[in-house]
Each structure stands twice: as C-alpha cells, then as structure tokens.
Amino acid sequence: MNFKNILTAAVFIFTITFISTAQEMTPPKPVESACFDKWVGTWVGENEHGGMPGKQTIVCTWDLNHQFLVVNVTGTGDKNPDFVYKGTGYYTLDNSGGYIGYWFDIFGLAGLSESKGKITASSLEGSVTAPGYTGVETAVFNGDNEVTMTSKGTYEFNGQKMPIEMKSVYKRK
C-alpha cells in the first residue's frame, strides 16, 4: 500500500467513526426556565448610561435547540442619536440551577462580559465581570409586561476606579 491509499483509508475510517458517533449523540432536552420564558419578546425602555439618557429596545428569543436565551439590545443616546449601541447575550442554566451568560457588543473585547447568578421565576441576580468592570446586576419582573433592571459596580480605567450605578425600566412592546 502506498501513502495515498493509507491516507484515504484513514480518512474513510475517521469519517465513518465520526458520523456514527454523531448520530448516537442526542441534544439535551430544551432548557426550562419560567424567568427566561418571560423575557421572550420585545421590550422598550429608557435608561441612563454614563450620565447620558437614552432609549433601548431589547429583543429576546430562544435559540440553538431551546438551549440559550438570546438577548439583542439596540440603544441610542438622547444627546447623540447618531451613536447606536448594539449588543448580544447568550444565557442558559448551569448544572446547579443558576444561570450563566456571555455578552458581546460593539466595543469588542472591552464589551465582553460573563454573568453568573441565581434565578427564580420572576427575577435574576448575578455577578458580572468584564475587562475593567465588576458588578452586580438584577432584573425583577413587575408582572408580565414590565421589568426593572439595576446595575451597580466599579469600572477601572487608567488606574482610576469609578462607581457605576444604573436603573432601567422596560415595558413589553
């Protein structure tokens, strides 16, 4: 047997093994979370970020075999409506019954964060870490059509620590 025949046989064996293993794998059952289910839909609200008031729209959907709640945020500042903020988060339940999430936004690596915390049917509270930022964020449903979100933490930039505190109320659209 020459090298080409050996290589072809190895690729064939790998492909058959991979396909048969993949066919035996079954995705986990869909994530069940009353709190995440409440988020599904479109939300609108006003907030203040960095001392600048603005408006945000949040669109939440289940994705990837109902394994992740996907949160898409678009926001504009009242003082600078030409600036548009966009971010996307992926959230799921961890093995202990809490939640874990990852956030990505237009600021690239500086906007990447990880959230971990506890979840109930009507609220979540967790710690958030990002480059230069640590804090605690909460979301509490006030019925089915309104949610209040708070954020309190510390942002460090050029060796200086700045406290950040934010409160936003969103209504289901």
Supply φ then ψ for residue 86, to 5 degrees.
Answer: -140, 140
pLDDT of residue 168 exceeding 80: yes
Over residues 32-36, the mean pLDDT reads 95
* Furthest CA-CA distance within the chain: 73
Per-residue pLDDT, 22: 57
pTM of the model: 0.82
β-pairing verdict for 146-157 and 41-49: unpaired
Residue 78 per-residue DSSP state: S
Distance CA 59, CA 68 (A): 14
Integer angstrom CA distances of residue 131 from 40, 101, 110, 155, 156: 29, 15, 6, 9, 9
Q: From 94, 102, 87, 143, select the one nearest 119 (Cα to Cα).
A: 94
Over residues 44-70, the mean pLDDT reads 90
pLDDT of 91-102, one tens digit each?
999 999 999 999
Which of these CATH numbers, 2.40.128.50, 3.40.50.300, 2.40.128.20, 2.70.180.20, describes 34-172? Answer: 2.40.128.20
Domain limits, the chain: 34-172
Which residue did the predictor score with more confidence, 42 or 9? 42
Q: From 150, 103, 151, select the one nearest 131 (Cα to Cα).
A: 103
pLDDT of 133-145, one tens digit each?
999 999 999 999 9
Query: What is the chain's percent helix, strand, coil content, to nearest 5?
Result: 20, 55, 25
Is residue 83 within 8 Å of 74, Cβ to Cβ? no
